[in-house]
Every structure is written in structure tokens, then in C-alpha cells.
């Protein structure tokens, strides 16, 4: 079999890490081949970030239309046409996939559809044809994790992939797992009328969040969601979940069961063992420039197991391409922003309070209600929310910012930038924030740092 050597770079995986890297590489003049086995955009665009946010927008509009009496707006006979919501989701995804295809064409990237397998460190086979290049990028993403619970692999249990194809709103929904993905689906379906139960093994939901943020998030969501914490699922029989907890055994039935206990890197059946790639079920081993142990081979995104977020994958791909081009960039993980798009939203960047405690850091922690922001009070009234900052006591550098309340998702990037730039309390106080905006909560909270800790 002949080998096609026309390309400078071969990228396996067309998700955020892969297609963004392909765009950057093509723009820089590298002749690039992008291989995707399903649809360009990967999980995020087709079965994750974008379709879920489209449906969460449906839930938000329904909430506003139904519950705006406080603002002097009254709507009668508010209802949801789920078939129309579904069509809008599909239309949105198709538009963005088309946009990715346009970007590939614009930057001279060749796209091959098919499942790739490595036959050598720099050689990939797809659709019966072999391709070789001096530069290879692996961006194979991740998949939902199915734990070894009896009945979990039955057709009755859905993952985040299948639940997006529901053609109607379930009357009852049970979510196994209180992490980010599980809570977004729980919030969405509870908002549009489903009776939702969340089962979580840990004592609190979304362990990646700051502890206080997670607690308040659960408190606010508890108005519409039944939480069973410290609860272990023992078995699933058809539409029944059997569980155990410190309070005893029990069971619940639901029309739909969502398994959402995390994701795992997709590293199987790719030929990685044959080419000597250093990897495990936890992901492909990379350094700060996204290099693997094999010369000329980089890995980015979820398949590395390091930060399973689309925006992390974007940056990883850019760092890898920069390294290919001889530029000195590195992947940093200390201030990656995280967002949970529930109602209310929650977001954070940098270390959490529990991380500071675990690492024995000497820090100052200040917190203010979101109502200190005039815009928040005007738009969200007395809905509970707060901003929290974590500051190094000695250097006065900003180490963490955590928020819960409306528009958090649009603010947190700024906090991430402040942390990345190692700005001190005094530095941020000199920044002019637009008024009135919810983002001012960051500046206001930093002004709460006691005078004896100030350092200009």
C-alpha cells in the first residue's frame, strides 16, 4: 500500500482541540489533514456544549416568560413546544458545523471522514489509505463513563449523548451523578416541568466548584430538584434504581434515567500500543508543550485526561501548533475558567477555598452578596448569589475567583486573566470596570480585603 506524504501535519480528531489546531496550522502555512470519524465539531459541538446550551436557553426563556411578575410582566398560558426546541437545537448545531467546514476550507485544511488507526509513529491509516507526516496531533476526545453497576449498560439508561435526542419532555427523570453535566441536564429538565431526582455518591454536588458555591447552587436548585447525597446506586432494573445510603436502602422509578458520572479519554483501538505511545486509561501523557514521548507527535484535548473542557482543548491545540512552528508557548492549568450553566449559573477560576486549605496556603478570603452589583439587583432582585476572592496573604496576588448568579459565564474569563497575570489586590483596584455590570462584584469584593493586608 502506498503512503500519501503530501501533508506537513496530520490531526486525528475533529473536535475543538483538533479543528481549532487545524485552523491555526493552516493559517500558519502548514499543509494540514484533519481526520474525523463522525462529524466535525466533535462531542462539544454535536453532542455536548452547543446542543445543551441551546436547550438550556429554552428553559431560561420559559422561566422568564412564566415567572416575571416581580418585573411587572405577566404572561398567561405559557407552554413549551419541545419539537420546536428540538428543531432549533438541530439547526444551531448544523449552522456551527457548517461554520467549522468553512474555516477548514478557508485555511486550506483537507478533511477526511473515517476512523483512523496508527500503523507507525508518524503514519495513520483511514479508509484504506495511509498518510504519513513529520508532525502528528492526536485529538481523539473522550466518551461517557459507564460504571460497573448491574443494569447500567441496558438500553434503558441514557448518557449525555442519547438524552439530547429525546423528542418529548419526560415526566420523571433520574440523574445518576451530580457533576457539571448531570446538573445542567437536571436544571434544564426541572425548569421545563420534569420531576427530577439527582443521586450523588459524594456529600456535595459538583466537587470541582468552590464548596460554598456548590452548597448555594444545590440550595437554589432544591426548589425544583430532589437531591439524594451520600447515596450509592446498587442496581438498575428497567426504570427502577435501587440505592443505598447511611439512611438505609431505597429505590426510585423514572421515565428516563441519565448516567452522568464523568467522561474518560478515548484512547482505545487506535494502535497506540503498537507505536509505543505512552498512555493509560487516564489519558495520553504529555508535557507542557503538549508533546508525547514520541518525536513529532503531540496530543491535545480530552484524550490527555488533563482538563476535559472545550476551551482547554482549544488552548492545548494552539500550544502544540506553536511548538511545531518553533514558538515558545506552554500550556498552563492554574487559571482555567470553569462554568456550570445551570439556573443560576456558577463559575470559578484559580484555586478554591478547599484547595487552599488542602495545600496549607496562607490566604485571605473575602465574599460579598451579588446584590452589591447594581445591575444584578436590577435584573435578578434578591436571588441569592455571591462573589468570592482568594488572595495570597503575603504577596497579595489574586489566586481564585468564584461566582454564583446571573451572567457568571460571561465574567469569569476576566478573573482568569487577572490570575494568569498574577495581579495583586492593588493592581485590580486600579482597573476600571464598566458600570453598571455584574462584573463589578470582583472589584467590590477585593476592596473588602482588610487594610493591614494591603500592599501597593
Q: Could you tell me which of 398, 410, 416 has the C-alpha nearest to residue 315?
A: 416
**Rounded Cα gap, residues 99 and 453, in angstroms:** 50
Least Cα distance to 265 among 283, 277, 279 occurs for 283
Residues 85, 91 contacting (CB under 8 angstroms): no
Give the Cα separation of 130 and 253 in Å (integer).
50
DSSP assigned state of 261: S
Tell me whether residue 271 is exposed, middle or buried, using C-beta atoms within 10 angstroms of its C-beta: 0 to 12, 13 to 18, 19 or more: middle
Cα–Cα dist 139/13, whole Å: 5
Residues ≥6 apart with Cβ < 8 Å to 294: 121, 275, 276, 277
> Looking at 63, 311, 402, 435, which residue is catalytic?
435
DSSP codes, 150-180: TTTTSTTEE-TTGGGG-SS--SEEEEE--SH
Between β-strands 195-199 and 135-138, what pairing exists: parallel, antiparallel or unpaired? unpaired
Handedness of CA 84, 86, 89, 93 (dihedral sign): negative
For residue 344, is the peptide bond before it cis, meaning its omega torsion is within 30 degrees of 0? Answer: yes
Q: Is 435 a catalytic residue?
A: yes
End-to-end CA distance of the chain: 68
Structure-block grid coordinates of residue 347: 463559575
Catalytic residues: 435
Amino acid at each position: 500500500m502506498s503512503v500519501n506524504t503530501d501533508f506537513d501535519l496530520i490531526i486525528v480528531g475533529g473536535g475543538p482541540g483538533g479543528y481549532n489546531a487545524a485552523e491555526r496550522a493552516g493559517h500558519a502555512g502548514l499543509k494540514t489533514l484533519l481526520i474525523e470519524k463522525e462529524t466535525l465539531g466533535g462531542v462539544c459541538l454535536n453532542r455536548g456544549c452547543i446542543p445543551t446550551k441551546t436547550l438550556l436557553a429554552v428553559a431560561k426563556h420559559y422561566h422568564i416568560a412564566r415567572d416575571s411578575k416581580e418585573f411587572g410582566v405577566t404572561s398567561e398560558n405559557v407552554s413549551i413546544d419541545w419539537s420546536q426546541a428540538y428543531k432549533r437545537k438541530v439547526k444551531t448545531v448544523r449552522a456551527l458545523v457548517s461554520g467549522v467546514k468553512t474555516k477548514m476550507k478557508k485555511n486550506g485544511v483537507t478533511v477526511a471522514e473515517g476512523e483512523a488507526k496508527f500503523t507507525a509513529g508518524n503514519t495513520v491509516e483511514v479508509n484504506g489509505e495511509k498518510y504519513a507526516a513529520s508532525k502528528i496531533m492526536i485529538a481523539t476526545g473522550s466518551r461517557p463513563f459507564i460504571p460497573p453497576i448491574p443494569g447500567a449498560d441496558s438500553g434503558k439508561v441514557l448518557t449525555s449523548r442519547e438524552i439530547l435526542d429525546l423528542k418529548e419532555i419526560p415526566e420523571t427523570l433520574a440523574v445518576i451523578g451530580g457533576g457539571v453535566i448531570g446538573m445542567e441536564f437536571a436544571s434544564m429538565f426541572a425548569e421545563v416541568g420534569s420531576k427530577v431526582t439527582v443521586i450523588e455518591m459524594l456529600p456535595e454536588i459538583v466537587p470541582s466548584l468552590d464548596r460554598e458555591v456548590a452548597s448555594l447552587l444545590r440550595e437554589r436548585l432544591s426548589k425544583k430538584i430532589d437531591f439524594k447525597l451520600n447515596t450509592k446506586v446498587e442496581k438498575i432494573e428497567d426504570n427502577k434504581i435501587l440505592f443505598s445510603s447511611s439512611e438505609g436502602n431505597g429505590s426510585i422509578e423514572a421515565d428516563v434515567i441519565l448516567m452522568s458520572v464523568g467522561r474518560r479519554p478515548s484512547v482505545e483501538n487506535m494502535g497506540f500500543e503498537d507505536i509505543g505511545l505512552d498512555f493509560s486509561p487516564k489519558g495520553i501523557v504529555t508535557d507542557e508543550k503538549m508533546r508525547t514521548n514520541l518525536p513529532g507527535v503531540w496530543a491535545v484535548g480530552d484524550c490527555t485526561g488533563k482538563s476535559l473542557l472545550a476551551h482547554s482543548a482549544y488552548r492545548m491545540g494552539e500550544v502544540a501548533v506553536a511548538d511545531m512552528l518553533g514558538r515558545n508557548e506552554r500550556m498552563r492549568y492554574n487559571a482555567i475558567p470553569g462554568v456550570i450553566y445551570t439556573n443560576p449559573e456558577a463559575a470559578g477560576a484559580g484555586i478554591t477555598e478547599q484547595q487552599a486549605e488542602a495545600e496549607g496556603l496562607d490566604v485571605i478570603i473575602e465574599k460579598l452578596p451579588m446584590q452589591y452589583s447594581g445591575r444584578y439587583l436590577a435584573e435578578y432582585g434578591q436571588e441569592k448569589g455571591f462573589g468570592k476572592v482568594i488572595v495570597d496573604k503575603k504577596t497579595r496576588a489574586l489566586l481564585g475567583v468564584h461566582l454564583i448568579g446571573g451572567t457568571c459565564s460571561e465574567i469569569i474569563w476576566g478573573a482568569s486573566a487577572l490570575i494568569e497575570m498574577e495581579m495583586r489586590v492593588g493592581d485590580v483596584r486600579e482597573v476600571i470596570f464598566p458600570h453598571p455590570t455584574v462584573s463589578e462584584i470582583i472589584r467590590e469584593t477585593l476592596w473588602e480585603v482588610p487594610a493591614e493586608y494591603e500592599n501597593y
